[in-house]
A and B are shown apart, each in its own frame.
Chain A
Amino acid sequence: MTRNLSVRITITLIASAVLLSLLSSFFFYQRIHDQQMAHSLQLLHQLGKTVQRTASIAAYLDNVEIAQETVSGLAENRIVGLIQLSSYNGLLAEYGNISQQDQRFTVSLELFSPFSPTESVGFLKIQPQYTLLETLAADAARERITIIFSYTFVVALIALASMQWLFIRPLKKIASQLGTITPGHNQSLPTPLWHSNDEIGGVVENINKLLHVVDSTIVQERNLRSDIEHLEQQFRMIFERASVSIFLMNAKGQILMANPAFMDLMGQTDLRRCQHVNCLSKIFVDQDTVLAMIRKTVELGEISERDLELKATRGSQYKRWGHCLFNRIRTERAPQHSDKVYIQGFINDITARKTKEQELLYQAGHDPLTGLLNRRASEQAITAMLEQMKTDTDIVALFIIDLDDFKPVNDTHGHDAGDIVLIETANRIKSFARNHDISSRLGGDEFLFAIKGPLTLQNVEKIADRLCKQLILPITLSPGVTVRVGASIGIALSLTPGDALKTLQSNADKALYHVKSQGKNNFAIIT
Chain B
Amino acid sequence: MKRVLILVSFLSLLGVCQPGELQADIVVIIHPDNPVETLSQRQVIDIFMGREVRFPNGATAIPVDQAPNSPVRERYYQQLIGKSIAQINAYWARLLFTGRATPPRVLGSNEAVMDTVLNNRDVIAYIDRADLTDQVKIIYTLQDAP
Show the binding face of A for B, using Cβ within 8 Å: 54, 57, 60-61, 63-66, 114-116, 119
Contacts and interface: CB of A to CB of B under 8 A. Distances in A.
20 contacts: A54-B94, A60-B49, A60-B51, A61-B51, A61-B95, A61-B100, A61-B101, A63-B95, A63-B98, A63-B100, A63-B101, A65-B99, A65-B100, A66-B94, A66-B98, A114-B49, A114-B91, A115-B49, A115-B81, A116-B45
Contacts of A64: 100
Contacts of A116: 42, 45, 81
Nearest to A115: B81
A53 to B, nearest CB: 9
Contact of A57 (B45, B83, B94, B99): B94
A57 B42 contact: no
B141 to A, nearest CB: 18
A180 B98 CA distance: 98
A96 to B, nearest CB: 23
A115 B100 contact: no
Contacts of B101: 61, 63
* 4 closest cross-chain pairs (CB), A and B: A65-B98, A115-B81, A115-B45, A61-B51
A112 B42 CA distance: 14
Interface residues of B, number: 15
Contacts of A65: 97-100
A57 B100 contact: no
Contacts of A114: 49, 91
B50 interface: yes
A73 to B, nearest CB: 13
Interface string B83-106: 100000001001101111100000
Contact of A61 (B45, B50, B97, B99): B50
Interface string B36-80: 000000100100011100000000000000000000000000000
A66 B101 CA distance: 11
Task: Decide if the interface of chain B is mainly helix, strand, loop or mixed.
Answer: loop
A111 to B, nearest CB: 14
Contacts of B42: 116, 119
Interface in B89-146: 91, 94-95, 97-101
Contacts of A57: 91, 94-95
Nearest to A60: B51
A66 B45 CA distance: 20
Nearest to B45: A115
Contacts of A119: 42
A332 B71 CA distance: 137
Given A61-B51, A63-B98, A65-B99, 7 more contacts: A57-B94, A60-B49, A60-B51, A61-B101, A65-B97, A66-B94, A116-B42
B94 to A, nearest CB: 6
B98 A115 contact: no
Contacts of A115: 45, 49, 81, 83
Nearest to B99: A65
A57 B100 CA distance: 13
Nearest to A119: B42
A509 B9 CA distance: 202
B98 to A, nearest CB: 4
B39 to A, nearest CB: 15
Nearest to A57: B94
Nearest to A62: B51
Contacts of B99: 65
Contacts of B91: 57, 114
Contacts of B81: 115-116
Contacts of B45: 115-116
A398 B91 CA distance: 190
Contacts of A66: 94-95, 98
B81 to A, nearest CB: 4
B126 to A, nearest CB: 15
A61 B98 CA distance: 11
A114 B49 CA distance: 10
A176 B100 CA distance: 96
Nearest to B83: A115
B96 to A, nearest CB: 11
* Most chain B beta-carbon contacts within 10 A, residue among A54, A60, A61: A61
